[in-house]
Amino acid sequence: MRALGVRHVRKVDPYKLKETMDVIREEAMRDEASVVITENGPCMLHRREKRSFPARCFSVDADKCRGCKVCLELGCPAIGWVDEAGRTGDGNKRKGRVLINGIQCPGCGLCAQVCKFEAIVPAEA
């Protein structure tokens, strides 16, 4: 990239969501060209992926999940939706909640990073 005249080249780990978004915001504010390179390979669910995550999956604390569906936007097949009208543990109304299939969960932790209500937690062994 530098050979092409790009002075600002940054590398990020896309599984560290906050860090990645901070770098993208910083580089988007520049008045000149910059390049952001993501390392660590393709989607963690890709069949030939060699990257390994900690041997743990994640689960949903049903009392905290507000059914906002932000985690569903990740497109992870381990995350599903349950139509279950009711209330959270602190009394907030909801139309449903998410559910994580522990067998399909690759353990990357992106869902826990996007959950604003801290409802997605490491599963107990």
Over residues 5-63, the pLDDT tens digits come to 888 999 998 888 899 999 999 999 999 999 998 887 666 665 545 556 666 789 999 99
- What was the pLDDT predicted at 1? 65
C-alpha atoms less than 13 angstroms from C-alpha of 27 in its C-beta half-sphere: 18
- What was the pLDDT predicted at 5? 80
Q: Coil, strand or helix: which one is 9?
A: strand
- What was the pLDDT predicted at 4? 75
In a domain, 44, yes or no: no
Largest CA distance in the chain: 58
Over residues 82-114, the pLDDT tens digits come to 998 888 888 888 999 999 998 888 888 899 999
In a domain, 30, yes or no: yes
- What was the pLDDT predicted at 40? 73
Count of domains forming the chain: 2
Residues 14 and 64 in one domain: no
Q: Which domain holds residue 29?
A: 2-38
Residues 16, 96: Cα–Cα separation, whole Å: 28
Residue 65 has pLDDT above 80, yes or no: yes
In a domain, 12, yes or no: yes
- What was the pLDDT predicted at 106? 82
Residue 75 has pLDDT above 70, yes or no: yes
In a domain, 51, yes or no: no
In a domain, 45, yes or no: no
Residues 34 and 62 in one domain: no
- CATH of residue 73's domain is 3.30.70.20
